[in-house]
Amino acid sequence: MKFPPVEEQLAVLRRGTVDIKASEAELAERLQQSRDSGRPLRIKLGIDPSSPDIHLGHTVVLRKLRDFQRLGHQVIVLWGTATAMVGDPTGRNKTRPALTRDLVEQNKQTYREQVARVLDVQTAEERENGEWFHRQSFMDCVALAGRYTVARILERDDFQKRYRAEQPISVHEFLYPLLQGWDSVELRADVELGGTDQLFNLMVGRELQKQSGQPSQVCMTVPLLEGLDGAQKMSKSLGNYVGVAESASVQFGKLMKVPNELLAKYFLLLTDQPQARVDALLQNPLDAKFALADAIVGGYHGADAARAARAEYDRIHQQGGLPDELPEWRPGAETRRLEDGRIALPTCIAGSGLAASTSEARRLVEAGSVRIDGSVVKDVKAAFGPGSYVAQVGKARASRWVL
């Protein structure tokens, strides 16, 4: 197979990359060997299906894997069907809960569908580390543990912090970097990708390959992506995320909330926009947000869907309309009801996520910012139910209540 010149490949691979370990020169040498032999490099990305959904933060490293794929190399998606049951301790201040095999497999199926929106999974090599770990004995595990020292494992920043804070660290968490590293031995990886928080684990793979008589993999990391709050890493649990499987209109609306200071980073890590165009767009943050949302939504849903999402956004925010798709709220048994079975308006507003608390909900009602079925309601003592209602707070927030 004929590969592009090494410098052309490096120009693509450098974009949005933080670390190339041990060095870029080593990566260039591997790329040249690949060109000379016609053998594609084996590029590994391990994915623990510990949850069913992925967000744009997850796609940063997937896009880098896609770069290698487009350059003609063999990308390997390694599903951590064994390691997901152990739990990656990276960045954690407590032990992860254990997952069952059934749940891991269930997560993998939905995760794979979403990964396919970024990668060409038909040409990717898909493997599971359960292939080797599930058949190994306890003594195999002991032998693997003997390849690394506790002192080296404790070099990890997150382990050091937990140890100094006297927070529990389970012995199986020490094994996780070794398990991830051994995956590279089994796959004979030339390059392994991960986030910057994964560098220690990636380097363990490099060491284990050396001990096993293999050429040591090049380790490449990409940045972690801050979420819509502009501060913390994008996370579903923090609510600052844009989901890959979310509808075009939801994605578009969320991307219009990206903080101005993060626009350049989002363009770099989530789009293929030329830098010259990005620099021009950033002169006007609003234009930049529209261009960013259009590029990302168009990439996942198509250009027509992106245009429709833009039209809906304009209708909602400029004309005071409602989105076509409203999130639905059905109160649970824990929701407090009045004696007649109805629910107080502030409780509904807070319960449906249109306000952070009932006290904030009361202030919104008193300010005339709340509409129920199109009519402004200013009575904080109002109550509703049973029935279906469309609630709107301001111009941008709305929900359908089924009480």
**In which element (H, E) is residue 195 found?**
strand 191-195
Token match 């032998």: residue? 143
Is residue 92's pLDDT more than 80?
no
Q: Per residue in 317-375, pLDDT tens? A: 666 666 667 788 999 888 999 988 899 999 999 999 898 899 999 999 999 999 887 78
Is residue 31's pLDDT more than 60?
yes
In the chain, what percentage of residues exceed pLDDT 70?
95
pLDDT at residue 11 in the model: 96
Is residue 396's pLDDT more than 90?
no
**In which element (H, E) is residue 388 found?**
strand 388-393
Is residue 212's pLDDT more than 70?
yes
Q: Per residue in 374-394, pLDDT tens? A: 788 999 999 998 888 889 888
- Any residues with CB less than 8 A from the CB of 285 and at least 6 apart, and which? 260, 263
Cα 140–Cα 132–Cα 41 angle in degrees, nearest 5: 120
pLDDT at residue 324 in the model: 64
Cα–Cα distance measured from residue 337 to residue 383, given in angstroms and rounded to the nearest whole number: 9
Cα–Cα distance measured from residue 12 to residue 74, given in angstroms and rounded to the nearest whole number: 16
Got the DSSP string for 326-372? --EE---TTS---TTS-EEHHHHHHHTTSSSSHHHHHHHHHTT-EEE
Q: Per residue in 144-170, pLDDT tens? A: 989 988 888 888 877 888 878 888 888
Strand, coil or helix: what is 395?
coil
pLDDT at residue 8 in the model: 96
Is residue 108's pLDDT more than 90?
no
Token pair for 301: 């849903």
Average pLDDT for 80-93:
74
Of 113, 109, 122, whose CA–CA distance to 300 is shortest? Answer: 113
**Would you place residue 1 in the very low, low, confident or very high pLDDT band (cuts 50, 70, 90)?**
confident
Average pLDDT for 89-100:
64
Average pLDDT for 221-240:
89
pLDDT at residue 319 in the model: 60
Of 170, 172, 183, 185, whose CA–CA distance to 145 is shortest? Answer: 172
Of 359, 339, 341, 337, whose CA–CA distance to 350 is shortest? Answer: 359
Q: Give all domains of the chain, ordered by start, each with its CATH number.
A: 6-222 (3.40.50.620), 248-319 (no CATH), 328-402 (3.10.290.10)
| Preceding peptide of 215 cis, ω within 30° | no
**Would you place residue 260 in the very low, low, confident or very high pLDDT band (cuts 50, 70, 90)?**
very high
Cα–Cα distance measured from residue 194 to residue 198, given in angstroms and rounded to the nearest whole number: 6
Cα–Cα distance measured from residue 58 to residue 203, given in angstroms and rounded to the nearest whole number: 21
DSSP state of 213: T
Contact 192, 45 (CB under 8 A): yes
DSSP state of 265: H
Pairing verdict, β 19-21 and 218-222: antiparallel
Q: What is the mean pLDDT of the chain?
A: 90
Q: Per residue in 60-82, pLDDT tens? A: 999 999 999 999 999 999 999 88
**In which element (H, E) is residue 383 found?**
strand 383-384
Is residue 93's pLDDT more than 60?
no
Is residue 297's pLDDT more than 90?
yes
Token match 């870029």: residue? 24
Average pLDDT for 40-50:
93
Residue type, 223: P
Cα–Cα distance measured from residue 260 to residue 230, given in angstroms and rounded to the nearest whole number: 9
Contact 41, 73 (CB under 8 A): yes
**In which element (H, E) is residue 222 found?**
strand 218-222
CA dist 107 → 66, 85, 112, 318 (Å): 22, 12, 8, 39
Q: Per residue in 171-200, pLDDT tens? A: 888 888 999 999 999 999 999 999 999 999
